[in-house]
């Protein structure tokens, strides 16, 4: 490789002692491609195997922890022990290529799809519909919230038994953990709502339950990360100022990483912080060395990744880039970074091992990928 890119390939040791071989992570991306019984499909196994050989960590598409939390057609399940063999296939496929296998655990909350949930019922912290989802959720009872916390722990246990190296708690993109933290989605007056500290109760309860299960069941160090979205467009909604409170609280939980969800790594803060500065810069400054941060968003070339790493963020996640070029990391490692593909050819689905439902979603969403 060219000497300037060596920092991308330096190993990094997480707080729990697990060494990651380089600084490049495959970001979690929904595949819509599970089997009809919600097990991981052969096409997904092929897709992940193809992309796991260069990166240090693969974070999978999200698995739902409860049947009321299914938010995508073709989402694979993790809510009962019958899915442990499905998990194991996926973990083994990723680990066989030398990457750490992290499964993202998730509940859609008010963004779940009624046609995919029992009795067509979606649930959330409050009966407030999402801005872009007309369905009104039923507000969870206190006992149901407690049960949901335990569901995250149970899915973590299944991930441990299946051989995954870790879990990522999905607290981003408007799903249920973010909903509990959001003043837009959460209008509760009990211990799970109210002021910002009440709205922190559910995210922290999930983290603590996952950590408890890891301590009880994992026989070797097991990675626990947390993904979050730094701001919401709604008013009221999560601001950068509130996100600083969230990341401060998460940094005290002995997590192995935090993963900020962004479409653009270099996007500026919108409100609640200096809007002339990037969110990544503000967040990295806030967490410092307390917990490693993963940055993501429109990083296409090796120079993009190097510039991002120079902000001080220890890990760079690639999403769309690894769909367009599964050998992105190898090309940089071999001094062939000029060969990186940054567009998607309509004829290349088979060449890229992209499952049919994911391919159709990409082609059917103009502007998501640079399709030629």
Q: Determine the Cα–Cα distance for residues 9 and 133; give it in Å rounded to an integer.
A: 42
Burial 219-243 (b: 16+ CB within 10 A, else e): eeebbbbbbbbbbbeeeebbbbebb
Catalytic-labelled residue, pool 47, 48, 64, 175? 175
Q: Determine the Cα–Cα distance for residues 262 and 320; give it in Å rounded to an integer.
A: 12
Q: Determine the Cα–Cα distance for residues 248 and 183; give it in Å rounded to an integer.
A: 18
> Residue 338, Cβ neighbours under 10 Å: how many?
8
Task: Kindly state the helix (H) or strand (E) to which residue 167 belongs, with its residue range.
Answer: strand 166-171
Read off the tokens for 3: 């000497």
Task: Kindly state the helix (H) or strand (E) to which residue 296 belongs, with its residue range.
Answer: strand 293-296
Residues forming beta bridges with residue 12, ordered by sequence position: 20
Q: Determine the Cα–Cα distance for residues 182 and 126; give it in Å rounded to an integer.
A: 11
226 part of the active site: no
DSSP string of 95-111?
Answer: HTTT-EEEEEEE--GGG
Q: What is the CA radius of gyration of the chain?
A: 19
Active-site amino acid positions: 175
């Amino acid at each position: 490789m060219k000497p300037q890119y060596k920092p991308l390939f330096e190993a990094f040791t997480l707080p729990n002692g697990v060494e990651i071989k380089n600084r490049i992570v495959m970001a979690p991306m929904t595949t819509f491609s599970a089997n009809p019984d919600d097990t991981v499909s052969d096409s997904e196994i092929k897709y992940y195997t193809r992309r796991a050989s260069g990166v240090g960590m693969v974070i999978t598409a999200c698995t739902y922890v409860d049947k009321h939390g299914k938010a995508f057609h073709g989402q694979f399940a993790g809510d009962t022990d019958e899915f442990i063999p499905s998990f194991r296939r996926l973990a083994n496929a990723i680990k066989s290529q030398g990457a750490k296998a992290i499964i993202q655990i998730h509940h859609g909350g008010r963004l779940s799809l009624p046609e995919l949930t029992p009795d067509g019922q979606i649930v959330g912290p409050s009966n407030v519909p999402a801005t872009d989802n007309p369905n009104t959720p039923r507000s969870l009872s206190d006992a149901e919230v407690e049960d949901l916390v335990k569901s995250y722990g149970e899915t973590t246990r299944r991930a441990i038994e299946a051989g995954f190296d870790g879990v990522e708690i999905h607290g981003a993109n408007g799903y249920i953990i973010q909903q509990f933290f959001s003043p837009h989605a959460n209008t509760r007056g009990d211990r799970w709502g109210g002021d910002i500290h009440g709205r922190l109760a559910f995210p922290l309860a999930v983290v603590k339950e996952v950590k408890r299960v890891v301590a009880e069941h994992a026989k070797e160090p097991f990675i626990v990360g947390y993904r979050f979205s730094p701001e919401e467009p709604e008013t009221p909604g999560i601001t950068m100022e509130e996100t600083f409170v969230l990341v401060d609280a998460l940094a005290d939980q002995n997590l192995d990483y935090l993963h900020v969800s962004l479409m653009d790594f270099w996007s500026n803060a919108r409100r609640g912080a200096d809007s002339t500065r990037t969110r990544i810069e503000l967040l990295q400054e806030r967490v410092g060395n307390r917990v490693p941060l993963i940055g993501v968003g429109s990083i296409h070339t090796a120079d993009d990744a190097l510039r991002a790493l120079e902000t001080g963020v220890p890990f760079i996640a690639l999403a769309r880039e690894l769909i367009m070029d599964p050998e992105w990391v190898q090309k940089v490692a071999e001094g062939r970074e000029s060969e990186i593909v940054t567009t998607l050819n309509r004829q290349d689905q088979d060449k890229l091992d992209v499952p049919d439902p994911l391919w159709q979603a990409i082609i059917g969403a103009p502007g998501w990928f640079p399709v030629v």
